[in-house]
Structure 1
Amino acid sequence: MSSGDFCPRCGDPVPERADPLPGEPRERDAVLCDDCYFEDFDLVDAPDRIEVRVCSQCGAVHKGNRWVDVDAEDYTDVAIEQVTEALGVHLKAEDVRWGVEPEQIDENTIRMHCTFGGIVRDTYREETVTVPVYISRQTCDRCGRIAGGYYASIVQVRAEERTPTPEEEQRAVEIAESYVAEREATGDREAFISEITETDDGTDIKISTNQMGGGVAKRIVRELGGNVEEYPTLVTEDGDGNEVYRVTYAVRLPRFTPGDVVNPDDDEGPVLVRSVRGNLKGVRLTTGEPYEAAFEEGESPDARLLGTADEATETTVVTVEDEYAIQVLDPETYESKTVSRPSYVDSDADTVSVLKSRAGLHILPDSDERAE
């Protein structure tokens, strides 16, 4: 212990204190007595005012140099957090305890009453500071881009030699929305759909980034079949001189869809399409046997569209002639016609669903058997 000294400010004796450890600088105010020391002592260093920037559209909060999504109906917790981060407690204080009591003044102003206590020079000190917090309503970068119609990629949903069905277009939009929602859930604030437009040829989906546009296009093809091609267009250069491209992802769905009745060029009879993923698969309407297009033919084999399962009508079975033939009434002329009996037609069936086309009458499976 060093011998007692006198306070250079008031002349009172200064209690003996432990000498600093070797290499540790001596505190400048150590020569002051407690009364003089605490005259200039601030337990807490607090800002005069804090501004919390909040997006008026999505509710995100600006922290540091970026916008962050928060799950809050009011911003009291956010204000408490930012005030807590902004407050500084004296390094010499030990066993520090604190509390914050918010006071809502109006919709955009919260007054934070902060109480801190701690041990300094073996003396308990307590200090209360009040920090006003102002909620500043602004527009975040993401909402600004959405409002401005910004997009970096377009997914164009089209089909080969036809227009996509309403079901296909709806499912493509659902896939896009689901993909973007997944990215949003991970905290990706760059994920959004700018616009969905229906055209005479299909649906256009404008998406915020090229990466997500490509991801959406691949998911659509994976589920609905078809292929996708990319068409980049140079639109500008960024601040570093790098070229910035907008990419169009042209999704072309297969020529045929599940539920179509097609006549492959193999002289073995029509096929009810059940799947177009990878290559066309279905059931042969003459026999009931499974059909699968050759690998090299893919999703669009050389075939002629005869109609769809939705166009089928119910007709009466006149008689089952044998294992391979059945006699039914033509739903238009009501004449008896003998047609091939596929394996899925029971021998005691009274009615069947038939599709009439240029190739004749074709018996279709029951509706619950048509799915893949």
Structure 2
Amino acid sequence: MSSGDFCPRCGDPVPEREEPLPGEPRERDAVLCDDCYFADFDLVDAPDRIEVRVCSQCGAVHEGNRWVDVGARDYTDVAVEQVTEALGVHLKAEDVRWGVEPEQVDENTIRMHCTFSGIVRDTYREEQVTVPVFISRQTCDRCGRIAGGYYASIVQIRADERTPTAEEEQRAVEIAEAYVAEREATGDRNAFVSEVTETGDGTDIKLSTNQIGGGVAKRIVRELGGHVEEYPTLVTEDSDGNEVYRVTYAVRLPKFTPGDVIDPDDDDGPVLVRSVRGNLKGVRLATGDPYEASFEEGETPDARRLGTVGDASETTVVAVEDEYAIQVLDPETYESKTIARPSYVDGDADTVPVIKSRAGLHVLPADAVDTDDADAS
């Protein structure tokens, strides 16, 4: 622009300004004088109001087209963030500085007092705007599904030829909750336990997705032993015509559990079960030698259950005869009996836990028995 040009709006002379480089667009308002230019100038473009959608159940905030967990009870920071994103500063402003001061009006209303400053046409400009932010309490998709009892998979906790123990059922639920918590920690808002139901045969755990159901079932088997069988059921079709299945994961826990005393069909005497992960493992009660079922037998060898460590009784040691024999009192008849001395029996022991069954009287490892329970029995 050459010197001597006049403002087309008011007729005042316009100071000479630097011409744009070749190829650069000329600013439309460059022909205006400063007074006319700033008469219509807004340093900040601000919305009249902002609504922040918050889930009243879990506290998640709706951002864009999805719900996001923010882990906040005070939504002031969320309001500051959304107001900051909604404000626009004029492109011609340089050295821009700004600040936002929130004012909590009530539980659901926050006034955001925003101050902006910058240099425009070598002139310092400052502008203040107030944007009201309203907290809208709603229900997110996840909480709506939970409230409606939605589920996509069921993990059934059952056992082979028995009912799962209370400890097994409790542990299975804990495993499911821990698995879901891990998924939630990674930001998976589709992860939740919908319902836990106790039945006469075991516990049913309803979960939000088939993938989570499968993951929970595998983790339960990994810790408690057994195997999983899957039973899909067609329930509907989605908007694209794809079939949607609900899957039941039947977890079948092993016939025997740690703490059972069994008698394998091998004529080598009873075994205290220590583990049922993979192949059943334990210890021979007659010798103290380790026992492991063959690969073919796996977690359920051909054996009969004689009892559990809960059936143990504490009895008096009469004498340690030698390396392989010990004399104890029969806990029922109080007769002195000589029985096998396994390697885990201390030669100085005054008492030992024993179990009496159809296979005879056997000493249990002290670390396998709750001493208080044995005394009480």
TM-score, scaled relative to structure 2: 0.96
Secondary structure of the structure 2 residue equivalent to 1:5: coil
Gaps of 5+ in 2: 371-377
- Write the deviation string for residues 30-69 of structure 1: whole angstroms up to 9, x where unpaired: 1111111111111111111110000000111000000011
Identity %: 87
TM-score, scaled relative to structure 1: 0.97
Q: C-alpha separation between the residues in 1 aligned to 2:280 and 2:100?
A: 67
1:108 Cα shift? Answer: 0.7
- Write the deviation string for residues 174-193 of structure 1: whole angstroms up to 9, x where unpaired: 11111111111111111110
Secondary structure of the structure 1 residue equivalent to 2:191: coil
1:4 Cα shift? Answer: 3.0
Is the counterpart of residue 208 in structure 1 residue 224 in structure 2?
no
Q: C-alpha separation between the residues in 2 aligned to 1:48 and 1:326?
A: 91
Is the counterpart of residue 35 in structure 1 residue 49 in structure 2?
no
1:345 Cα shift? Answer: 1.8
Find the counterpart in structure 2 of residue 320 from structure 1: 320
Q: C-alpha separation between the residues in 1 aligned to 2:349 and 2:35?
A: 107
RMSD of aligned Cα (Å): 1.3
Q: C-alpha separation between the residues in 1 aligned to 2:277 and 2:291?
A: 14
Q: C-alpha separation between the residues in 1 aligned to 2:109 and 2:348?
A: 80
- Write the deviation string for residues 17-40 of structure 1: whole angstroms up to 9, x where unpaired: 111111111111111111111111
- Write the deviation string for residues 141-164 of structure 1: whole angstroms up to 9, x where unpaired: 010011001111111111111111
Q: Tell me which moved more, 33-42 or 319-328.
A: 319-328
1:342 Cα shift? Answer: 1.2
Find the counterpart in structure 1 of residue 131 from structure 2: 131
Q: C-alpha separation between the residues in 1 aligned to 2:350 and 2:139?
A: 67
1:321 Cα shift? Answer: 2.8
1:347 Cα shift? Answer: 3.0
1:334 Cα shift? Answer: 1.7
Q: C-alpha separation between the residues in 2 aligned to 1:188 and 1:123?
A: 50
User: Using a 3 Å threshold, how does the CA distance of structure 1 residues 368 and 358 change in structure 2: closer, same or farther?
Assistant: closer
1:369 Cα shift? Answer: 8.2
Find the counterpart in structure 2 of residue 146 from structure 1: 146
Q: C-alpha separation between the residues in 1 aligned to 2:368 and 2:263?
A: 22
- Write the deviation string for residues 274-304 of structure 1: whole angstroms up to 9, x where unpaired: 0111111111011111111111110000000
Find the counterpart in structure 2 of residue 55 from structure 1: 55
Q: C-alpha separation between the residues in 2 aligned to 1:254 and 1:248?
A: 19
Q: C-alpha separation between the residues in 1 aligned to 2:314 and 2:172?
A: 32
Secondary structure of the structure 2 residue equivalent to 1:14: coil
Q: C-alpha separation between the residues in 2 aligned to 1:122 and 1:342?
A: 96
Gaps of 5+ in 1: none
Secondary structure of the structure 2 residue equivalent to 1:171: helix
- Write the deviation string for residues 57-115 of structure 1: whole angstroms up to 9, x where unpaired: 01110000000111222111111110110011111111111111111111111111111
User: Using a 3 Å threshold, how does the CA distance of structure 1 residues 348 and 98 change in structure 2: closer, same or farther?
Assistant: closer
Secondary structure of the structure 1 residue equivalent to 2:83: helix
1:359 Cα shift? Answer: 1.4
Q: C-alpha separation between the residues in 2 aligned to 1:77 and 1:247?
A: 42
Secondary structure of the structure 1 residue equivalent to 2:48: coil
1:368 Cα shift? Answer: 5.4
Find the counterpart in structure 1 of residue 374 from structure 2: none
Secondary structure of the structure 2 residue equivalent to 1:217: helix
1:324 Cα shift? Answer: 2.1
Q: C-alpha separation between the residues in 2 aligned to 1:146 and 1:243?
A: 23
Q: C-alpha separation between the residues in 2 aligned to 1:3 and 1:215?
A: 77
Secondary structure of the structure 2 residue equivalent to 1:361: strand
Q: C-alpha separation between the residues in 2 aligned to 1:14 and 1:27?
A: 14
1:189-268 pair list within 5 angstroms? 189-268=189-268
